[in-house]
Amino acid sequence: MPLKVGDNIICKYQPRYEQYKAEVLSVKDEDIVVRQTESIPVKVLKGQHVFFMANGLGYFAEIVNIEGSAIFMKGVGAEERDSFRVEDIMPVIVQKVDGDVYMKRAKVISEMGVDISRLRKSTLDVADDTVSPMLWKMLVDINAKLSIMLDLLTFGKEGLMSAEEVHVNLSASGMSLNVKEKYRLRDCVEVKILLPTSPPVGIIVYGIVVRVKELMDMPGSEIAITFIDMEEDVRDELIQYALKRQREILRRQREYRG
């Protein structure tokens, strides 16, 4: 069932998880208008990307205008939550794991990373009038860069900075890729992925090998992995990344045709 007026939704910002409750005021084609229903409104910014669920579908939109309590969005996609899928090239590490894989927990390993562009927009909101806006901006920039450096150290510790980039078909429910190691059906695996966002996001997920296809023209095989016990924040990262990539691909196709 598509989005409709009166639906109550929870909007989640990209690339982090700040969220707010909202009511749908208007829906016309790709144009969506919502109103925050929080007792303490969350500050929203023009140009921010938003993900939300409604009636079993996942929606990806961009905030194009704000008028009072009304937030105007331009929708760019709607599908069943886990069906957003994208093909891309990114650093991936797949390893077999022993024991009960169902006891292991997926996680985001971007410890401190932040969206620099969003932080810079926040320089307009200096909480203390005694602080120079220029000094505040410098502090925000320094904080953002230090956070990304800490992330890069974390990625290096997990082996993702030196991991081979491979072609993947990725969704929130699983992935397929070519591997050189031998895998069998029902093998339990740990998968580390460095999503090529800005800043990059690292995740660790666990899954089961559900398909193995030997490659004819090169060593190794193509395997398909179904993710299990996905944490909500990890699932959101995968969905939002797939949506963003789909949007980039559609934009390039339109530019090429034009």
Q: Is residue 178 part of a domain?
A: yes
pLDDT at res. 220: 87
pLDDT at res. 54: 79
Domain that includes residue 53, residue range: 8-80
Tell me the C-alpha distance between 32 and 36, whole Å.
13
- In this prediction the pTM is 0.65
Residues 93 and 209 in one domain: yes
Q: Is residue 227 part of a domain?
A: yes
pLDDT at res. 58: 73
pLDDT at res. 150: 74
Q: Is residue 1 part of a domain?
A: no
pLDDT at res. 16: 54
* Distant-in-sequence, close-in-space partners of 42: CB < 8 Å, separation ≥ 6: 18, 19, 20, 36
81 pLDDT more than 60: no
Nearest to 160 by CA among 190, 117, 131, 180: 190
243 pLDDT more than 70: yes
Residues 59 and 153 in one domain: no
Q: Is residue 40 part of a domain?
A: yes
Strand, coil or helix: 111:
coil
Residues 48 and 134 in one domain: no
Q: Is residue 44 part of a domain?
A: yes
Residues 203 and 240 in one domain: yes
The tens digit of pLDDT for each residue in 22-62 reads 999 999 988 999 999 987 778 888 888 787 877 767 777 88
Tell me the C-alpha distance between 47 and 45, whole Å.
6
Contact 59, 78 (CB under 8 A): yes
pLDDT-derived band at 96, boundaries 50, 70, 90: very high
Residues 96 and 196 in one domain: yes
151 pLDDT more than 80: no
- For 155, left (φ over 0), alpha (ψ -120 to 50), or beta? alpha
Residues 217 and 99 in one domain: yes
Residues 20 and 66 in one domain: yes
Q: Is residue 249 part of a domain?
A: yes
Residues 218 and 90 in one domain: yes
pLDDT at res. 172: 84
Residues 68 and 104 in one domain: no
Compute the C-alpha angle 105/107/108, nearest 5°: 180
List the structure tokens of 50.
């938003």
pLDDT at res. 141: 75
Residues 98 and 183 in one domain: yes
Q: Is residue 3 part of a domain?
A: no
Backbone angles phi, psi at 197, to 5 degrees: -95, -175
> Quick one: average pLDDT of 120-143?
65
The tens digit of pLDDT for each residue in 172-211 reads 889 999 999 999 999 999 999 999 887 788 999 999 999 9
pLDDT at res. 82: 54
245: domain CATH number is 2.40.10.220
Burial 6-35 (b: 16+ CB within 10 A, else e): ebebebbbbbbeebbebebbebeeeebbbe
Residues 76 and 25 in one domain: yes
The secondary element (H helix, E strand) that includes residue 246 is helix 232-257
Greater confidence, 152 or 67? 67
Greater confidence, 66 or 54? 66
Strand, coil or helix: 125:
coil
12: domain CATH number is 2.40.30
Q: Is residue 43 part of a domain?
A: yes
pLDDT at res. 198: 75
**How many domains would you assign to the chain?**
3
117 pLDDT more than 50: no
Residues 248 and 210 in one domain: yes
